[in-house]
Amino acid sequence: MNLSQLLAHFKTELKDVYEDEEVKSIFSVAVEHLLKITRSSLMMNWDKELSLAVQEQFYAVAAGLKTHKPIQYLLGEAYFYGSFFIVNEAVLIPRPETEELVDWILEDHLAGKTVIDFGTGSGCIAISLKKHVEALDVTAVDLSQEALSVASENALRLGSPVNFIHADILSFKSEARFDIIVSNPPYITGKEMAEMHQNVLAHEPHLALFVPDERPLLFYEAVADFAVSNLKKNGKLFFEINEYLSEETIQMLKDKGFEFISLRKDMQGKPRMILASKVVRS
């Protein structure tokens, strides 16, 4: 069997789960991971014959995809900001819009600055910042010990040392002060669950996804309170946000004394990121 025939097998097996274009995209990810053939060179390798052992690997991936399990969990890694991160069902799969948040932070002059990342998950934000600016002093916090194990392995694998702390965002206290505080905390309400794909609901950690309908900004409020006390002068707070709650998030930050609040849209034109300057004291 060659790659072209194998793609046809994927399309047949997954026709009730994904559209054809999605299958092709997922298949190319599997090919890159299992065969080290890049997407750009895949067109020249459709006739490549595969051993039975390799075919079995692809069959296993297709079988997993039929259960709505994300391809990143099946392969054990996800691409983010130029690196491959280890992922499993203890951590969220890094998203492209979060890469845009990292881009925004890196627009600043970061050399020698201190950063703390709340709800680090796989460590993708914290490690990417450290990887691109070695002089950063980076701390990352998460409630899940399993997530921190994954993040620690990623930091070691990518050669980007980060100080990891096992703690709850809602109660974390520190005497340390930071130039940058960043968080992509849980922000999906129960009302939004109906809009979500089954591969997210069934496999990604609910601890990192959902908030109570009655307090959708619960974690943002906690991080903002920490920032009021722990941001250095001219420090900056960065959030990835719920696109439906941008106005509420901005108002919450204003109520806590932040100013120069900037809202940025992602590549799809959705309001997904906020930057707020430290509260100014006389």
- Please name the amino acid found at residue 185: P
Confidence of residue 10 (pLDDT cuts 50, 70, 90): very high
Reduce the secondary structure of the chain to three states and give it as a string: CEHHHHHHHHHHHCCCCCCHHHHHHHHHHHHHHHHCCCHHHHHHHCCCECCHHHHHHHHHHHHHHHCCCCHHHHHCEEEECCEEEECCCCCCCCCHHHHHHHHHHHCCCCCCCEEEEECCCCCHHHHHHHHHCCCCEEEEEECCHHHHHHHHHHHHHCCCCCEEEECCCCCCCCCCCEEEEEECCCCECHHHHHHCCHHHHCCCCHHHCECCCCCCCHHHHHHHHHHHHHEEEEEEEEEECCHHHHHHHHHHHHHCCCEEEEEEECCCCCEEEEEEECCCCC
Whole-number pLDDT of residue 83: 95
Model pLDDT for residues 56-75, shown as the tens digit of each residue = 999 999 999 999 899 999 99
Q: How many CB atoms are located within 10 Å of the residue 60 CB?
A: 11
Question: What is the percentage of the chain residues whose pLDDT exceeds 90?
Answer: 78
Model pLDDT for residues 246-282, shown as the tens digit of each residue = 999 999 999 999 989 999 999 999 999 999 997 555 4
Confidence of residue 208 (pLDDT cuts 50, 70, 90): low
Confidence of residue 170 (pLDDT cuts 50, 70, 90): very high
Whole-number pLDDT of residue 282: 44
Mean of pLDDT values over 13-41: 91
Residue 187 has pLDDT above 80, yes or no: no
Mean of pLDDT values over 143-170: 97
Question: What is the percentage of the chain residues whose pLDDT exceeds 70?
Answer: 89
Whole-number pLDDT of residue 152: 98
